[in-house]
Amino acid sequence: MSAPPSPAPSPLPPLLEVQALRAELATRGGPLNMLDDVSFTLGHGRVLALVGESGSGKSATAFSIMGLLDPPARVAGGSVRFAGRELVGLAEAEMRRLRGNRIAMIFQDPMMTLNPVLTIGAQIVETVLAHAPVGRAEARRRARDVLGRVGVPGPEERLACHPHQLSGGLRQRVAIAIALLHQPDLIIADEPTTALDATIQAQILREVRALVTERRTALLWITHDLSVAEQLADDIAVMYAGRIVERGPATALLRQPIHPYTAGLIASLPRGRRGSRLTPIPGLPPTLASRPSGCAFRPRCGVAGPACAADPPWRDRLAGSAPGGAVRCVNPGQAVAA
Amino acid sequence: MTAALTAVPTAPLTEGVLAELRAVSRVFALPGRRGAGLTAVDSVDLAVRRGEMVGLVGESGCGKSTVARIMAGVLAPSTGTLRLGGRDFGSLTATEARAAQLRVQMVFQNPHASLNPRFTVEEIVGEAVRFHRLVPRDTLADHVAAQLLRVGLDPSLRHGHPHRFSGGQRQRIGIARALAVRPDVLVCDEPVTALDVSVRAGILNLFLDLRDQGELGILFISHDLSVVGHVCDRVAVMYLGRVVEEAPVDALFDAPRHPYTQALLADASTPSPPASGSERIRAGAPALSERPSGCRFHPRCPAARPDCAVREPALRPVGPGHRVACLLADH
């Protein structure tokens, strides 16, 4: 398999370097590929949106990086380098130290972050105290402040609540607040705003964006929502059936998708004249057990040909311009026309 | 008759109305607080006519789902009336009420949770039809097959169980089940929220087709304004239990009058954050239990004046089919 063209060269090694990552799910019938040849890099102060639909491997990628894949799933190959250090195969105690300090994860389910038996206040104050040399009163003030910043109404009263007393949306905002307080180098967020209202989502995206700019935090944001990716990300990587099929600068990729799957996703959005029929992608994504060889999208692709039965190579999205991103399609020329 | 009605979207208010809430409120008792209650829905008027898709939008907790359940006749209003087919639902006999209830069917958000996993597709779609003896026994299988075709499913799949289907197919099964009892109105509560984008497009097309066939009225509840703006004919915006603006879709999206609607649209539709300096509202509505005085939106409103904290604005017409509850729009 050819190595993907690297994005814009930078003098320092990127904070996160994922190379040919592979993950498997063990089954009675033998291992199934969850992730295959996933590679990308992410630098300080950059936001990469990992975009794809259910089952495309977005969350599996995040969990693989964090060392959180549980059997029967496992990382089966490739490398994840964080600040120059290999994370694949790292001892759990080491990994836990990184997760507590330098890498934060925001989960889809906020109860993976929150402790059900402690009040919100206790959990946030503890986080502040762990990361800043301040007294309890100051920690409490910062706790109130951060809750306000993620759109929690009446922060003072919420501090006394236990997680079960809050709605799902409020819990998620608290979990996000805690991740922001950690001041990590890298935040991995797995669809954390999907269930939230538009005004709250917009505020959280602004807050996160500000954090990235101020503290040069690197952010890997997983989402199925292209408009969220557009608002937040510098770069986008599109996943399909366990692989990245296209990636590049967010605006360019959304404006001029090259891979037929990316183009299909964008075409299926409600745009154009009100009431006009939308264009769904025909067929369904393959299950883990039924992924076709070669390009997994070919059964649904309008421009697929015999050549698509072989693994498609990476190519520059724009001829001869690596910073424009890369696409994994044998027919990128035709795909543009599609 | 149907065709004539759908061709005239500006028909008089009562014409073609299939389901209607008139001044409906719903108060939920608070456990342990005798006498106190939460007003989840407050004096809402909302009509669904034949051949139209009405969008209902608003943030979590604004009362959208309560409105849905009241319109479907499964939750009684505390005050006000539900009218189905021109008759007051509350005044019907038990038998009449059951028949009227069948005319309004719900489609739910989660197609994984709303289908009985032990039933086959045929049993799911045909159950209510059989129970209410809506078609002769020997034609039930044909009737079910016709519903599956109508929602774009292969009738040969009817012996399968729900777990064998994708999310989009399951939502089609849920719609087929609703259609099987030949309703006048579909009440759809976030019907595409759980679906992937590429699949969602097909389900939205199905709703557009059902609407265009002209037999049904559809109440389409969603928090996703881009979807509502694309498929609905008319849209009502709820805030903390009240409808604050209602208008034909073009008027609502192109010239929203309520500051809340304007803010929702600003947050939802702009792909990139608007230039700094533009007005934004504080994120998140307050809890119902903390409902502000006067206009309930005034603490978040960038245009609020002193009297907004005192006077509660009524919903008033500001254009054809366009009503707004805002003191600033009142003159």
Size of interface A-B (CB pairs under 8 A): 111
Q: Please check whether residue B223 touches A, CB under 8 A.
A: yes
ipTM score assigned to the predicted complex: 0.83
Averaged pLDDT, B217-224:
94
What stretch of H or E contains B171? helix B167-180
Question: Nearest CB to B271: which of A200, A230, A278?
Answer: A230
Which structural domain range is residue B65 located in? 18-103+183-272+286-329
Tell me the chain A residues in contact with residue B268 when contact means C-beta distances shorter than 8 Å.
198, 202
Q: Please check whether residue B287 touches A, CB under 8 A.
A: yes
- Domain annotation covers residue A303: yes
Q: Which two tokens stand for residue A16?
A: 């996160």
Residue B34 is part of a domain; what is its CATH number? Answer: 3.40.50.300
State the maximum Cα–Cα separation within chain A, in Å, rounded to a whole number. Answer: 68
Give which of A188, A42, A43, A191 is closest to A108, Cα–Cα.
A191
3-state class (DSSP) for residue B28: strand
Interval A256-288: pLDDT, tens: 999 999 999 999 999 888 999 999 999 888 889
Q: Which two tokens stand for residue B83?
A: 């009218």
CB–CB of A206 and B273 under 8 A? Answer: yes
CB–CB of B196 and A152 under 8 A? Answer: no
Residue A307 is part of a domain; what is its CATH number? Answer: 3.40.50.300
- Domain annotation covers residue A312: yes
According to DSSP, the β-strands at A85-86 and A73-82 are: antiparallel
Question: Nearest CB to A231: which of B201, B273, B282?
Answer: B273
Please give the tally of structural domains in chain A: 1
Q: In the 3-class helix/strand/coil scheme, how is chain A assigned residue by residue?
A: CCCCCCCCCCCCCCCEEEEEEEEEECCCCCCEEEEEEEEEEECCCCEEEEECCCCCCHHHHHHHHHCCCCCCEEEEEEEEEECCEECCCCCHHHHHHHHHHCEEEECCCHHHCCCCCCCHHHHHHHHHHHHCCCCHHHHHHHHHHHHHHCCCCCHHHHHCCCHHHCCHHHHHHHHHHHHHHCCCCEEEEECCCCCCCHHHHHHHHHHHHHHHHHHCCEEEEEECCHHHHHHHCCEEEEEECCEEEEEEEHHHHHHCCCCHHHHHHHHCCCCCCCCCCCCCCCCCCCCHHHCCCCCCCHHHCCCCCHHHHCCCCEEEEECCEEEEEEEECCCHHHHHHC
Give which of A230, A240, A221, A203 is closest to A107, Cα–Cα.
A221
Tell me the pLDDT of chain A (338 aa) as tens digits: 445 555 555 556 799 999 999 999 999 999 999 999 999 999 999 999 999 988 899 999 999 999 999 999 999 999 999 999 999 999 999 998 898 789 999 988 888 889 999 999 999 999 889 888 999 999 999 999 989 888 788 888 899 999 998 887 788 889 988 888 878 999 999 988 877 777 778 888 888 888 889 889 999 999 998 989 998 999 999 999 999 999 999 999 999 999 999 999 999 999 888 999 999 999 888 889 899 999 999 999 999 999 999 999 999 988 777 788 999 999 865 544 43
- Domain annotation covers residue B265: yes
Q: Please check whether residue B197 touches A, CB under 8 A.
A: yes
Q: Which two tokens stand for residue B309?
A: 């904290």
Please, are residues B266 and B274 in contact by the beta-carbon 8 Å criterion? yes
Q: Which residue has the higher pLDDT, B1 or B118?
A: B118
Q: Please check whether residue B200 touches A, CB under 8 A.
A: yes
3-state class (DSSP) for residue B289: helix
Q: CA of B296 to nearest chain A CA: how many angstroms apart? A: 15
The DSSP symbol for B100 reads H
pLDDT at residue A151, rounded to an integer = 79
| pLDDT > 60? residue B76 | yes
Nearest-by-CA chain B residue for A205: B273
* Residue B312 to residue B314: CA distance in whole angstroms: 7
Q: CA of A75 to nearest chain B CA: how many angstroms apart? A: 26
Which structural domain range is residue A85 located in? 16-92+223-271+278-337
pLDDT at residue A183, rounded to an integer = 83
| pLDDT > 80? residue B285 | no
Q: Which residue has the tokens 């809050």?
A: A166
State the maximum Cα–Cα separation within chain B, in Å, rounded to a whole number. Answer: 68
CA quadruple B31, B32, B33, B34: dihedral sign: positive
- Domain annotation covers residue A162: no
- Domain annotation covers residue B37: yes
* Residue A212 to residue A43: CA distance in whole angstroms: 11
* Residue A128 to residue A114: CA distance in whole angstroms: 15
Please give the tally of structural domains in chain B: 1
CB–CB of A224 and B197 under 8 A? Answer: yes
Question: Nearest CB to A199: which of B59, B230, B287?
Answer: B59
- Domain annotation covers residue A109: no
Q: Please check whether residue B284 touches A, CB under 8 A.
A: yes
Interval A70-84: pLDDT, tens: 999 999 999 999 999
* Residue A53 to residue A300: CA distance in whole angstroms: 14
SS3 content of chain B, % helix, strand, coil (to 5): 40, 25, 40
CB–CB of A209 and B273 under 8 A? Answer: yes
Nearest-by-CA chain B residue for A262: B198
Q: Which residue numbers of A have CB closer than 8 Å to B's CBs?
A: 53-54, 151-154, 167, 169, 197-206, 209, 224-227, 230-231, 264-265, 268-271, 274-281, 284
Please, are residues A265 and A245 in contact by the beta-carbon 8 Å criterion? no
Q: Which two tokens stand for residue B84?
A: 């189905």
Q: Which two tokens stand for residue A85?
A: 């250090």
- Domain annotation covers residue A284: yes
What is the DSSP code string of B102-144?
HTEEEE-S-TTTSS-TTS-HHHHHHHHHHHTT-S-GGGHHHHH
- Domain annotation covers residue A26: yes
- Domain annotation covers residue A134: no
Interface test with A, best of B54, B190, B193, B197 (most A CBs within 10 A): B197
* Residue B5 to residue B18: CA distance in whole angstroms: 12
According to DSSP, the β-strands at A321-328 and A85-86 are: unpaired
CB–CB of A268 and B271 under 8 A? Answer: no
Q: Count other Cβ atoms within 10 Å, centred on residue B3.
A: 9
According to DSSP, the β-strands at B79-84 and B234-239 are: unpaired
Window 240-279 of B, Cβ < 8 Å to A: 249-250, 263-264, 267-268, 270-273
Q: Please check whether residue B231 touches A, CB under 8 A.
A: yes
CB–CB of A274 and B263 under 8 A? Answer: no
CB–CB of B231 and A275 under 8 A? Answer: yes
Nearest-by-CA chain A residue for B199: A280
